[in-house]
């Protein structure tokens, strides 16, 4: 069987500059979870339909995201409760290969659309200040002083861009969570794929998911990481997806269902 890197070489490349028109900062999102063993079969069906982001000859790129929340995890629980117009994610993100840093605000509105805004930074920080603080005030009702760093998420990502339609597919692997209490968990057999579309349609990627009987599952990396590393977090509304992930990985994530 071909390796993931070999299969990615079969995709036409696209640069960051060429991808500017495909950023989809406001979009519809769908998530899928499957295992690394399934990834070659998924990718092999997609080469004629998508290009792959290539940065400095890298088609599998490293990302680092530092997420912020209130001391009592208000933003996590807003997602858990599905609260309309309060579902924010606040983070610094580093795009390792391109050496770009951003402060980012993600928001899911009542229509289920995700809106992402960001402002460039010189580096990642554990304090929201200067232009990041002004940006936070502009985009949210939150105050920088009520937020603290909660979770660092690192992973590798391949980004596929549909050749014909307004769609991107991000495929993440080698997931690592860390918190300030010394918690550190790597989940190296899990793939998290996300379909990002301007408007909903059945794309080649979604067709492959259906053909391989991989079902949609809604759980963000931030919420998954919080449940994984922090004790006594209420997560009843996430349990169906957590049980699915546990079964998918043959019980290796028993800790996420405490």
Average of per-residue pLDDT across 184-195: 95
Residue 257 lies in a domain: no
Residue 201 lies in a domain: yes
CA distance 160 to 39: 13
In terms of Cα–Cα distance, which of 144, 136, 221 is closest to 177? 221
Q: Where does the chain have alpha helices with state H?
A: 4-9, 39-44, 74-81, 131-139, 204-211, 221-229, 239-248
Residue 256 lies in a domain: no
CA distance 60 to 19: 16
Q: How would residue 124 be classed by pLDDT, with cut points 50, 70 and 90?
A: very high
| Signed CA dihedral, 46, 49, 52, 53: sign only | negative
Residue 169 lies in a domain: yes
Return the number of other C-beta atoms located less than 10 Å from residue 116's C-beta: 16
CA distance 215 to 243: 13
Residue 258 lies in a domain: no
Specify the DSSP class assigned to residue 115.
E
Per-residue pLDDT, 222: 97
Round to the nearest angstrom and report the end-to-end CA distance of the chain.
37
CA distance 196 to 22: 10
Residue 34 lies in a domain: yes
Average of per-residue pLDDT across 228-254: 84
Backbone φ/ψ region at 61: left (φ over 0), alpha (ψ -120 to 50), beta: beta
List Cα–Cα distances, 1 to 9, 35, 116, 127, 223, in angstroms: 14, 16, 37, 46, 34
Residue 255 lies in a domain: no
CA distance 22 to 203: 15
Average of per-residue pLDDT across 167-177: 97
Q: Check whether 183 has a pLDDT greater than 90.
A: yes
CATH code for the domain of 208 = 2.40.320.10
Q: Whole-structure pTM over 0.75, yes or no? A: yes
Domain of 20, in residue numbers: 4-250
Residue 66 lies in a domain: yes
pLDDT in tens, 43-63: 999 999 999 999 999 999 999
Specify the DSSP class assigned to residue 72.
T
How many domains is the chain built from?
1
Do the strands 12-14 and 50-53 form a parallel or antiparallel pair, or are they unpaired?
A: parallel
Q: Check whether 29 has a pLDDT greater than 70.
A: yes
List Cα–Cα distances, 220 to 30, 41, 50, 194, in angstroms: 11, 24, 24, 10
Per-residue pLDDT, 252: 46
Lowest mean pLDDT among 63-77, 82-96, 162-176: 82-96
Q: Check whether 22 has a pLDDT greater than 90.
A: no
């Amino acid at each position: 069987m071909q390796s993931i890197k070999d299969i990615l070489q079969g995709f036409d490349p696209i640069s960051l500059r060429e991808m500017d028109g495909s950023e989809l900062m406001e979009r519809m999102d769908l998530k899928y979870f499957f295992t690394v063993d399934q990834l070659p079969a998924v990718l092999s069906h997609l080469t004629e339909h998508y290009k792959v982001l290539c940065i400095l000859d890298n088609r599998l790129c490293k990302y680092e995201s530092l997420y912020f929340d209130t001391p009592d995890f208000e933003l996590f629980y807003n997602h858990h409760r599905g609260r309309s117009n309060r579902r924010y994610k606040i983070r610094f993100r580093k795009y390792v290969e391109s050496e770009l840093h951003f402060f980012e605000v993600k928001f899911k509105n009542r229509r289920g659309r995700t809106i992402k805004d960001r402002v460039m930074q010189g580096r990642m920080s554990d304090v929201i200040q200067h232009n990041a603080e002004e940006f936070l005030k502009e985009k949210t009702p939150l105050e920088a002083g009520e937020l603290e760093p909660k979770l660092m998420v690192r992973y590798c990502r391949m980004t596929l861009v549909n050749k014909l339609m307004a769609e991107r597919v991000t495929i993440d692997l080698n997931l690592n969570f860390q918190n300030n209490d010394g918690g550190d968990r790597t989940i190296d057999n899990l793939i998290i794929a996300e379909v990002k579309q301007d408007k909903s349609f059945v794309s080649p990627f979604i067709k492959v998911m259906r053909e391989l009987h991989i079902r949609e599952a809604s759980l963000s990396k931030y919420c998954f990481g919080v449940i994984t590393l922090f004790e006594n977090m209420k997560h009843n509304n996430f349990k169906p997806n957590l049980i699915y992930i546990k079964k998918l990985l043959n019980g290796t994530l028993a800790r996420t269902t405490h």
